Structures are given as C-alpha cells and as structure tokens.
Amino acid sequence: MPWRKKWIDPEEYEDKEELGRVLSKRAYEVWVSEVMLQQTRVSTVIPYFNNWVEKWPTVQDLAEANHDDVLSVWKGLGYYSRATRLHEGAKAMIAKSAGASCALPSGATELQEFPGIGRYTAGAVSSIAFGEAEPVLDGNVARVLSRQLGLYMDVKDKKATDVLWDMADRLIKHASNFPETRTSEVPGLWNQALMELGSTLCTPRPRCDECPIQSTCRTYSEGKALSDKRQSVVVVPDIEDACSLCASLDTEDLVAVSEDATNDEPPRANKKRKAATKQTNTISQYFSVGTPKSNVETEDEEEDLDSPPVEDSRKRKLPAPTGESKSISTYCSLFPKKVAKKKAAEEDCVRPAKGLLASLWQFPQNTLTASHKTPQQRKTSAQQYISDLDAGAADMSKARFVASFPPLVHVFSHLRLTMHTYQYRIDADKAGDIELTCKGPPTRKWVDSKAMDNETLSTGMRKCWDLVSESL
C-alpha cells in the first residue's frame, strides 16, 4: 500500500522548516488515503491514491485545485462528498496555517476542526503521521475489541461506541508508554496493526487458529470452554456486579448456526433443523454445573465456516482446521452483535436527458409519487416537469418527447432508486443565441453530446447517459 511508510522521527531533522514540510506531506497522504478507504476496497483505492498524490502532491496543491478537476479525478470512487470535503478541508488548512511549513496540526482535537475530519480520521493522521498516542475506531477495530473484551453489543450503538473508544484510548496509551513518551512510531504501528488484524484475520468469518492475540481474546476463551463442555461451580453474581452492557445471547442456536451468522447479518438457525420444546439457554448456563444438553437436532452436518487455508511466504500450507477450531470460530463469529439492517427506502424518479444541474452534474430529475404507477403517468409527469424547467432563453414548453428507456435501478447505502429516463428535443430558430450556462441557483448548463465523457457525472447519471447516447 503506497500510503504505508516509515514513521518520520523529528529527532533526525535539524532543519525545522524541512521537518515541517516533510511532516505536512506525510500527514496529507495519510489523510487522503483514510478518506479514500472509507467504504472502498484497498485494491480499488491504490490507483486512485497514486493518481491523486501525483496530481496534487501537497495540501497546498489541493487547496489551489479547481473543484471540477477534483471531482473528475475522484470519478469512480463514489460518495463524491468525500472529495468535496477533502478539497474544502485543504483550503481551510492553508488559510489557517498562514504560511507555516506544516499545514496540518498534529493533534487529533485540532484536526477535527476542519471539514470532513471526524474522530477516526483525526486519530489515524495524528498517530500514523505524527506519532501521537491517539486511538482509532473503525469497523475492523471495533470487531477486534468486541471479541477481545467479550462484548456482545451492537458496536454502532452509542453506549458500545463510548466503551470501545475508551478502551482503544487506554490500550494505545499503555502500548505507547504515554505520557512518559509523547511521540514515537508505536501509536501508528499499533493502530495500523489493529486495523490490519480486523481486515485479514478477525473478519466476520474469523480465522482464529492464525490469530496472534488469541490468548487474550475473551470470546475465544468462551468459545473454547463451550467446545470443551467445561464445567465450573455455579456462581450467582450479585445483581450489582452483573454486566449491564452486553445483550443476552441465546446459545440454543449455536449448535445449528448457519453460515449466515458469519456475515454482517444477525445469525439465523439452519432452516432444516428440528427443534423440540424450546428451552431458555443463556451463556451463563454453559459455565455452570449440570448444564442440560441442548435438545436441538440437525439434519445437515455443520457447514464449514472457515476460510480456505492461506500460505505463508514459503508456501507452507496451514494445518486443516479441527472440529474444535471450527466450533470456536463459529462462536466468535457471533461477536459483535449483528443487527438487521434497515431496508433501504425506495424511490422512483424521472430524468429527462437534456440539461444538467448541481455541482456534481446530474440530469434534471423529478421524484415520482405513488400515483405515478403506469408508463403513461410517468411520461406525463416528465413532460410537465421539463415544460416548467428554467433553462435560460430556451423555451422548454416546446420540448418534444423523443424516446423513453427501460428503468434503471441504482442502489445507494440508504436508498434504492428506480430511474425512468426520457429523451426530449427542442427546436430553436436561433440556437446559437442560447446561453450554454444558465445562472442559478442551481446552475444549469447545456453540453454537447460529444463532450459528455468529460463531465463529472455520478455512476447513476452515467448509466442514464449511456442509455441515451446509444440511441443518438
């Protein structure tokens, strides 16, 4: 990964101006990489990152960039607001630094004052670039800590988030020997190691046999105890000492847990299992004398939940996982608690194929109501919308319908959008007199079809244009 570099030790630089420039560039690269990696695979980010830092190698260069160029270079990464916030943040940093050699502050608190930098990104930049003992907490780190602590909680819940942030902070300060040692390479290495562990081994389908911190993992030890059917003296804890954080985990389904449980969805029992009278089993029962055996029977053998064996640099194959290790990994896969995702809202809209609006250009669009169910009703809505559209000197009331296209479905994280695309034509006696750019807000402009490839369109808009362009 091109953003992974050796930590810059300030003690090695006598020239403070040079040190400031080097640290500023390093912090800028970490910042860009972390923003690009949000909801994007590493393999996808690498070429974008290389292209970005080649075009704008410093935060000063990015601050002076044209915003349309920024969006153009980002094209294909999605979530374009991230690019906008990077650009706005760079401009704010340069304005605030007032010519200082290092435009980015080293402290996580100060970094969060800039657009688009939250607690996680601030912690990553502060620890990796500047060596300060600041924690990070992303999905991978939250999963690692949830299993290490044995916390059966929804890690997106505020109470869980507060606990995990606090633990991440305590751990990194202990590992970094803070406050005796203020800055070193340890914080950056520690945070990157946690993120790496969560993305490679402690995944939703964990490879517990290969985990280097298996011995300190509370969830692993619980899973092993369940597998060994270890018995212990019944101890009824005082209600004041009971855990008030974890949700109740009903272990009746553990013997029939399906592969669904190893993904980021709530565990579901195997559909083919035959359950007799359901009993109320909780984790505590499995650690007490006389725990009854589950009366759940299964028709299918337990599915192999482990990932394929990996090989090290010498191509040595790892031993095949045993039945016990599968059982432990299955138990660990239940942590953290999975919560059913909310179904994305569904929406229909019509998009005439001429005219553009918004900073990230898109075709004029009109959200349809439940009454627009038939093709004719949608066509009528599109005609009405484009007739009322303000597009400068062009008389949109004379727009003639040319064609309609099959609906396109574009899924966002929060929305399932069905797009109905329509093409219209406007004849004008003096087309040359029509202003190509129409003042807003929002700004609109007319674009020659041959120049459309150079426009910064979102993925959904590009799909709409591809439909229309094929018919031209």
Catalytic (active-site) positions = 34
Q: Which uninterrupted H or E stretch holds 168?
A: helix 158-175
Residue 347 bridge partners (DSSP): 417
Under DSSP, is residue 417 helix (H, G, I), strand (E, B) or coil? strand
Residues 457/449, Cβ–Cβ less than 8 Å: no
**107 Cβ contact list (under 8 Å, min separation 6):** 126, 132
Give dist(CA 272, CA 330) in Å, integer: 18
Output the CA torsion sign for 266, 271, 272, 278. positive
- Could you give the dihedral angle defined by the CA atoms of residues 212, 214, 216 and 221, in that order, rounded to the nearest 10 degrees? 180
**127 Cβ contact list (under 8 Å, min separation 6):** 133, 134, 135, 136, 172, 187, 188, 190, 191
93's tokens? 């940093």
Q: List the end-to-end C-alpha distance of the chain, in Å, as a whole number.
A: 43
DSSP per position, 346-379: EEEEEEESS-EETTTBB---EE--TT--SHHHHH
Angle among Cα 419, 421, 424 to the nearest 5 degrees reads 155
E strands, 210-344, are 274-275, 296-297
Q: Count H helices, E strands: the chain?
A: 14, 10
